[in-house]
Amino acid sequence: MARTPTTYDPFNAVAEPKRRQVLEALGEKELSVNELVELLGWNQPSVSKHLGVLKQVGLVEERRVGRQRMYRVNAERLKPIFDWVAPFEKYWTERFERLDTLLEKMKKEK
Amino acid sequence: MARTPTTYDPFNAVAEPKRRQVLEALGEKELSVNELVELLGWNQPSVSKHLGVLKQVGLVEERRVGRQRMYRVNAERLKPIFDWVAPFEKYWTERFERLDTLLEKMKKEK
DNA sequence: TTGACACATTCCTATACAGGAATATAATAT
DNA sequence: ATATTATATTCCTGTATAGGAATGTGTCAA
């Protein structure tokens, strides 16, 4: 077998750097395809194809307005990635250690 | 061109579900290849090959002990993933807003 | 109805896996 | 030296891209 398809899950869809750029560009604001084309500086079919993958995997949603298609991020589909990576965060920063210590203290004091 | 190589960056390395399992299995504790083989129930070459990719991309580190090789997670290489996905978190929960508020308060009180 | 505009899809190709099977390498024990 | 243990590497193959070029589809305007 080959690699896991890009449309299999958010991890694979987001592995492609350009698809991350698309999601960043969308950010909070809904954008049309042409707005993305201009913003990113890629050709239109390329943008459309990446949007197609993101849409298949549920990372963006599409709304039709006249001959335009407005795309927006569906952030909840990124939650599995966050949930997977978050537990490792304590290893590179102390913020959470401090928080853990604080919570432990609060627990004991209670 | 084809897809971005799995060894290109942590995003691509971690797109493969089995490699995420390896990182989970390692967690905090260093494990030998055979311990991983037993823990995961895969054949040995498969485990070694996935470890090879993870090592190339810097997500695990290797230590030789006799004829064994002990592997451990290098969590800092996961930071780019966390940093990329974290800004989206506010869209599905409010927890971090509260945490940020708490940390800001602690900072000021200090 | 004919253009023009906005966007999607198809066709093509080079590339890169992931998994299985077999084999190679390195270190220890006998 | 030889066998054994622990692990890595090589060879093979089917599959799935990502990018470029060309074309198709749907919608609005004159």
pLDDT digits (tens, 9 = 90+) for A26-56: 998 999 999 999 999 999 999 999 999 999 9
- Nearest nucleotide, CA A44 to C1': C7
pLDDT band at A105 (very low <50, low <70, confident <90, very high): low
Q: Looking at the predicted structure, is the pLDDT value of residue B31 above 50? A: yes
Domain membership of residue A1 (yes or no) is no
Mean pLDDT of B4-16: 97
For B72-96, write each residue's pLDDT tens digit.
Answer: 999 999 999 999 999 999 998 765 5
Q: SS3 for A10?
A: helix
- Residue range(s) defining the domain that contains residue B20: 10-109
For A58-95, write each residue's pLDDT tens digit.
Answer: 999 999 999 999 999 999 999 999 999 999 999 988 65
Q: Is the CB of B80 under 7 A from strand C?
A: no
Residue, of A105 and A68, whose pLDDT is higher: A68
Report the distance separating Cα B96 and Cα A74, nearest Å.
19
Residues with Cβ within 8 Å of A9's Cβ and at least 6 positions away in sequence, in order, are: A57, A80, B17
Domain membership of residue A4 (yes or no) is no
Domain membership of residue B4 (yes or no) is no
Domain membership of residue A50 (yes or no) is yes
Contact B85 A95 (CB under 8 A): no
**Quick check: A13 and A6 in contact, CB under 8 A?**
yes
Contact A17 B4 (CB under 8 A): yes
Q: Which of A4, A17, A85 sits opposite B78 (nearest CB)?
A: A85
Q: Which of A6, A12, A79 sits opposite B92 (nearest CB)?
A: A79
Q: Looking at the predicted structure, is the pLDDT value of residue B110 above 50? A: no
A-to-B residue pairs, Cβ atoms closer than 8 angstroms: 73
The domain tally of chain B equals 1
Q: Give the residue from chain A lying closest to B86, CA to CA.
A: A82
Say which DSSP state A94 is in.
Answer: S
Span between the terminal Cα atoms of chain B, in Å: 54
